[in-house]
Amino acid sequence: MGDIMQQQLTQELEAYLQKLDDEARIEAINAFRQVLHHYSPFRSQPVDCVLWVKQELVAPNDYNPNNVAPPEKRLLQTSLEVLSDAAPQIGKMAVRPS
């Protein structure tokens, strides 16, 4: 019974979404995602309910996690040069056999 209902809902959802223009389709998809998120076992995860927004509403921020200050960049470079052969071994040692 559940499989049949799921198939019917999916088919009706597809038919409904096909009839909408892009803007209405995005609103409908966001609404469906919010309902699904409410029942999702992963609702505590930050990417469980990703909603679409218009590009004009997205603004960049000044933070870039890939920026490294020059002194730290030199230290990182030195560490990579010195430990380049040891890094894979350190990773292997951290994994404990089951």
Q: What is the pLDDT of residue 36?
A: 96
In angstroms, the CA 49 to CA 44 distance is: 10
Name the burial class of residue 61, with classes exposed (0-12), middle (13-18) and buried (19+) by CB atoms within 10 angstroms of its CB.
exposed
Token duo for residue 27: 């609103």
Q: Residue holding tokens 């990773």? A: 91
Band of residue 98 on the pLDDT scale cut at 50, 70, 90: low
Report the C-alpha gap between 13 and 7 in whole angstroms. Answer: 10
The two structure tokens encoding residue 85:
């052969």
With tokens 């469906």, the residue in question is 32
- pLDDT, residue 95, reads 53
Say if residue 47's pLDDT is above 80. yes
Average pLDDT over residues 22-39: 96
Q: What is the pLDDT of residues 6-26, one digit of tens each?
A: 999 999 999 999 999 999 999
CB-neighbour burial class of residue 33 (10 A; exposed 0-12, middle 13-18, buried 19+): middle
Q: How confident is the model over 52-96, as pLDDT tens digits?
A: 998 899 888 887 777 778 888 888 888 878 876 655 555 555 555
